[in-house]
Amino acid sequence: MNARAKFLVGGALVLGTAGYLMASSISETAQYYLTPGELATKVAADPGFVETGVKVGARVVSGSIKRTPGGREVAFDMTDGTRSYPVVYRGLIPDTFTDSVDVVVEGRLGKDGTFRATVLLAKCASRYENAPDKEKYKNTKGYQQAKPSKVT
């Protein structure tokens, strides 16, 4: 075998190995991103889908948030308008987590129908407002306008 053929065979082996490693790692770490309705459909079609790691995008049902006294665990209901699931999450709760906020939870749906989240992300508002007008708050108690300093 000449040098060129050896180089081509070696290159093909390296590329083949790299391709195999990429394909196998993607299939092992891939995760579904579903809505509660899609999750219900998957579970109905394949009951073995329970306890499979998924990400679910939904909205928090207004008035359903229950925090434990320690503040590190929260339970709430999430919905997409067609299906709802109770969610339990233990960990740091985002500051933007409130009623009716859009959330993405990552975890597993238990056999009891409760979604046990390991990651909780609350989406930020897509609309931001300008800073308040100084004149509007001029007469508010505690408001002090900056005074020019004297230069001597």
Which residue ranges make up each domain of the chain?
1-30, 31-122
Superfamily of domain 31-122: Nucleic acid-binding proteins (2.40.50.140)
- As beta bridge partners, residue 122 has 103
Instruction: Indicate the average pLDDT of the chain.
Output: 82
Give per-residue pLDDT as tens, 9-39.
989 999 999 888 888 777 666 667 899 999 9
**Assigned token pair, 59:** 């909205």
Which residue would you say has higher pLDDT here, 134 or 44?
44
Give per-residue pLDDT as tens, 86-104.
999 999 888 888 888 999 9
Q: Give the model's pLDDT for residue 132.
A: 55
Q: Does residue 69 surpass a pLDDT of 90?
A: no
Q: Give the model's pLDDT for residue 20.
A: 87
**Assigned token pair, 56:** 């679910």
**Assigned token pair, 103:** 């959330």
Q: Does residue 146 surpass a pLDDT of 70?
A: no
Q: What is the mean pLDDT of residues 124-147?
A: 56
**Can you tell me the distance from the alpha carbon of 134 to that of 53, in angstroms, rounded to the nearest whole number?**
50
- Comparing CA positions, the residue from 42, 48, 34, 41 lying closest to residue 107 is 34
Q: Give the model's pLDDT for residue 12.
A: 92
Q: Give the model's pLDDT for residue 127.
A: 56
**Assigned token pair, 102:** 């859009």
- Comparing 9-18, 28-37, 46-55, 138-147, the range with the smallest average pLDDT is 138-147
Q: Give the model's pLDDT for residue 25.
A: 76
- Comparing CA positions, the residue from 60, 1, 57 lying closest to residue 32 is 57
